[in-house]
Structure 1
Amino acid sequence: MFFLVFLGLAYTSSIDAQHFSLDKHKKVERIKFQKINNVILVPVTLNGAKLTFMLDSGVSAPILFNLSDQDSIQLNNVTTISLKGLGEGEPIEALRSAHNQFKIGEATNTDQSLFVVMDKDLNLSPALGVPVHGIIGYDVFRDFVVEVNYGKSIIKLYNNNEAFKVPKKAQKLTLAIEHKKAFLHASIVRESNKEVPVKLLVDTGSSDALWLFKDSIKGIDLPKKHFEEFLGQGLNGEIYGKRSKIKGIKIGDFFLEETKTAFPYKTSFQAISNLGERNGSLGGEVLKRFNLIFDYSNSVVYLTKNSNFNKPYQYNLSGITLQHNGVRYIAERIADSRGRVKAEHNDSFGNVQIVMDNQTRLSLVPEIVVSSIRAGSPAERAGLQKGDVILSVNGKQVHNYKLQEVLQMLNERKGKRVKLMIERYNDDKKFSFVVEDVFKNKKP
């Protein structure tokens, strides 16, 4: 729930224009998506291979980066290029592939170019807990009117802007389409009630709420109550910054109170030479509060608030970030004391099982590990360490749950005691701590 994905990219190599299309007699294509950690995952077919891509309005061209679970994928017309983006590292070498066939539902592009990143560190799958093979953005938003219904987890691709009906309660806002990305004008509200106009990247590929770039001259200042936190993984390395919240943000006539906000360090943007008038980004934790219709051809977006609008923002109360780290075997007894096989153990936790003497079964399950711990957090004070393997949370074996469900257990509410069983250097250890307000004891 709390791993923050952000891949704002600046390409050193241009990419040719290609187009998606639907059959001319079909007005709309309806696609079911997975909503995990506030991001949108859609099924994609690339040259016949079935994959999962993130729909990311913050990227200008498709990127393929995780091929670990694929036998083979055909890529056409491959050349070597260099990519740079967010993060504190150096530009990375990648591949450029042209003349590929992409399909998203029935929407097809028979001449799609993409980038291929071979760096194993750029892999969203461990943090999201499901396979993710790449990201795609502008090519889809450019060629269709795109409706994103966060409430029903459905995307609709309209063949043209006459094929959809604007919802009665929707508000129409102007988009600025620049360098194949969409920007929205909004206003942040400071504690003094002063409103500061801001220009924000609309970024469906970020699971965070709001990012702001500090600018004292403009009035974008870090609130006094804040703490340092790992914000996410960029193309060129990890991104850190300060976590806080502002009094609110105005988007058109909508006002979101106590908005969760991150202020990334400037070193994360050293690879991007010119941010222009951009002051930050709107991510999934804000965007999911609306159902959205993007019409890039007319530079507008329609917003309708949904059932998520007033839900509280999610914070990493425990201080623990988790990810999948390969697999491990677990042993479960499938027979009672008389040797009779228990009916409730007919199903397995994993796809690979070994049954011994018809009484014990070994199953292969995902291994969940601590990928980072926030300094000064309840988890760090309790003695948890990076690399610890999580075995159970409050008596619940984690292999029975999805990664995001385990994170929810760790951060359910302030004041809750969390008891962990972990494995460290082949030794099982118990830890306990109380989840607390992340702004507790922060100096006003």
Structure 2
Amino acid sequence: MLTKYKFAMRSMFRKLIICVCILLLLSRLSQGQDFRFIDNQKRQSLHFKLIKNLIIIPVYINEKGPYDFVLDTGVGPMIITEPSVIDSINFSKMRKIKVSGLGLEAVEAFVSQNITARVSRAEMQHIPTAILKEDLFNLSGHLGTKIYGLIGYSFFSSFIVDIRYVEKRMIFSNTNEKVKWKGNKIPIIIENLKPYIYANVEVPDSGIIKAKLLMDTGASHALSMEMFKGDMFPLPYSKIKASLGMSLSGQIKGYLGRIKNFSFGEFDFKDVISSFPDYNVISQKIDLKSRNGNLGADLLRKFNIQFNYRDGFMFVKPNSNFKMPFEHDMIGMVIYLDQKDYKRFLIGEIDENSPAEKSGLCPDDEIIGVNFKPVETYSLSDLTDLFKSGANKSVILEIHREKKTFFKVIHLERRI
């Protein structure tokens, strides 16, 4: 299970995995439960949406839909964040569990195995599912489109899954099919329903270390380094304080910086943007003993990736994104859509000493125009790209605050 802890790092969404819910559901998973094609197909191609690096696929729930779900290697059981997709749901007859994390005292989730999920022509009956009574994540607001949940291990463990980020296309095949492998073969380890890899990471004053990282297609960032030798991961010399995202009980604080050298397989990267969350906070709620950090989609999208959970490996082949530099947002604030009115663009947390703060912007300001165009002409992804478009550029925002409307000129700044 997870709380609303998708590390924003201005690319939004890095999850906090709450292990207690995974463990409660793990015992209910059986080796015989899989997605299966409902006819004689052996392979299926499916186009997906790519929003802020996250893969959004259509999922049918109990033969109704399609509903947009995040395809997320970082989750085990399917998670439904919008219970209205299930007809006549009776929470009183469902197994109740408590979710806690980062100071959260009590959030109720419900466990069900009476749900059928279908992705294109592949179906799984009695899929282990955690259902929230309300959308505590506000995934829809942060992605700019209605999101109904997340799906991960049950799908990836059932097929050989080929993700092609540039084409926005996924090909999934039966595990006994002969699939033409392309690229560099890299071992993956499946633990607690999630995939891990080993990578080489340069640590300040300690040289290159071998780090164990969760592979997380549901995290928009490139890297999050969380633990080193039982303590906080050493910070780079150049860094900035940042609000890395939201938990259900408040902001996750930490730093943004660059990893000078990072490599896995035969691929080397320089100056990779990474978040460094406050270890003293997250280590109280997450077991960090089994991993050093998290490898997210801003790095994964540089490859075509073929996942084979059953045999414990993946193939990666560079695509046209491979040589694109790693950049953070150069404005220093979170923008999201109002959960009650998805046409309203609101400002969330603002980083200390950022261009947004210097210009006088405030949390809860509403953006009604960008560069003299109505904000409706932009998507959230458009604005994310705009705010990473280059240092020394200026953006003009039309702001509505307390029944007043005014303009703010923000000078973008490459802070790390």
TM > 0.5: yes
Q: Tell me the residue number matched to 1:271.
A: 285
Residue of 19, 24, 44 corresponding to 1:29: 44
Q: Which moved more, 1:408-417 or 1:184-193?
A: 184-193
Residue of 388, 399, 405 corresponding to 1:428: 405
Deviation at 1:88, TM superposition (A): 4.3
Gaps of 5+ in 2: 1-9
Residue of 403, 406, 411 corresponding to 2:383: 406
Q: Tell me the residue number matched to 1:203.
A: 216
CA contact (8 A) 1:101 1:111 kept: yes
Do structure 1's residue 152 and structure 2's residue 167 form an aligned pair? yes
CA shift in 2, pair 1:315/1:73, >3 Å: farther
Residue of 351, 354, 367 corresponding to 1:374: 351
Do structure 1's residue 314 and structure 2's residue 357 form an aligned pair? no
CA distance in 1, matches of 2:378, 2:219: 24
Q: Report 1:40-79 matches (<5 A).
A: 40-50=55-65, 51-67=67-83, 70=84, 73-75=87-89, 78-79=94-95
CA contact (8 A) 2:48 2:56 kept: yes
Residue of 369, 393, 397 corresponding to 1:416: 393
CA contact (8 A) 2:62 2:115 kept: yes
TM-score (norm 2): 0.89
Residue of 272, 277, 288 corresponding to 2:301: 288
CA distance in 2, matches of 1:219, 1:254: 26
User: For residue 58 of structure 1, what is the amino acid of its counterpart?
Assistant: G
CA contact (8 A) 2:330 2:388 kept: yes
CA contact (8 A) 1:185 1:199 kept: yes
Residue of 7, 12, 16 corresponding to 1:3: 12
CA contact (8 A) 2:255 2:275 kept: yes
CA distance in 2, matches of 1:179, 1:142: 12
1:126 alignment partner, SS class: helix
CA contact (8 A) 1:10 1:84 kept: no
CA distance in 1, matches of 2:60, 2:88: 11
Residue of 385, 407, 415 corresponding to 2:362: 385
Q: Tell me the residue number matched to 1:354.
A: none
CA shift in 2, pair 1:180/1:78, >3 Å: same
Deviation at 1:123, TM superposition (A): 1.8
CA shift in 2, pair 1:219/1:399, >3 Å: closer
User: For residue 375 of structure 1, what is the amino acid of its counterpart?
Assistant: E
User: For residue 222 of structure 2, what is the amino acid of its counterpart?
Assistant: A
Do structure 1's residue 95 and structure 2's residue 110 form an aligned pair? yes
Gaps of 5+ in 1: 329-364, 440-444
Q: Tell me the residue number matched to 2:6.
A: none
CA shift in 2, pair 1:392/1:204, >3 Å: same
CA contact (8 A) 2:115 2:127 kept: yes
Percent identity between matched residues is 28
Question: What is the alpha-carbon root mean square deviation over aligned residues?
Answer: 2.3
CA contact (8 A) 2:25 2:77 kept: no
Do structure 1's residue 438 and structure 2's residue 415 form an aligned pair? yes
CA shift in 2, pair 1:112/1:237, >3 Å: farther
Residue of 373, 392, 396 corresponding to 2:373: 396
CA contact (8 A) 2:38 2:123 kept: no
- Deviations along 1:127-163, one digit per CA (max 9) or x if unpaired, are 1101111111110111111111111111111112433
CA distance in 2, matches of 1:218, 1:114: 34
Number of paired residues? Answer: 397
CA distance in 2, matches of 1:235, 1:373: 18
User: For residue 348 of structure 2, what is the amino acid of its counterpart?
Assistant: S
CA shift in 2, pair 1:159/1:54, >3 Å: same
CA contact (8 A) 1:88 1:269 kept: no
TM-score (norm 1): 0.84
- Deviations along 1:345-369, one digit per CA (max 9) or x if unpaired, are xxxxxxxxxxxxxxxxxxxx70101
Q: Tell me the residue number matched to 2:98.
A: 82
CA distance in 1, matches of 2:336, 2:73: 24
CA distance in 1, matches of 2:128, 2:205: 49
Q: Report 1:319-398 matches (<5 A).
A: 319-326=332-339, 366-398=343-375
Q: Tell me the residue number matched to 1:331.
A: none
Q: Which moved more, 1:252-261 or 1:5-14?
A: 5-14
CA distance in 2, matches of 1:146, 1:75: 32
Q: Report 1:153-302 matches (<5 A).
A: 153-167=168-182, 170-190=183-203, 194-215=207-228, 220-234=233-247, 238-266=251-279, 267-272=281-286, 274-302=287-315
CA distance in 2, matches of 1:7, 1:31: 28
Deviation at 1:372, TM superposition (A): 1.4
CA contact (8 A) 1:8 1:234 kept: no
CA contact (8 A) 2:241 2:255 kept: yes
1:366 alignment partner, SS class: coil
- Higher Cα Rg: structure 1 or 2? 1
Q: Tell me the residue number matched to 1:345.
A: none
CA contact (8 A) 2:204 2:234 kept: no
Deviation at 1:45, TM superposition (A): 0.5
CA shift in 2, pair 1:162/1:293, >3 Å: same
Deviation at 1:181, TM superposition (A): 0.9
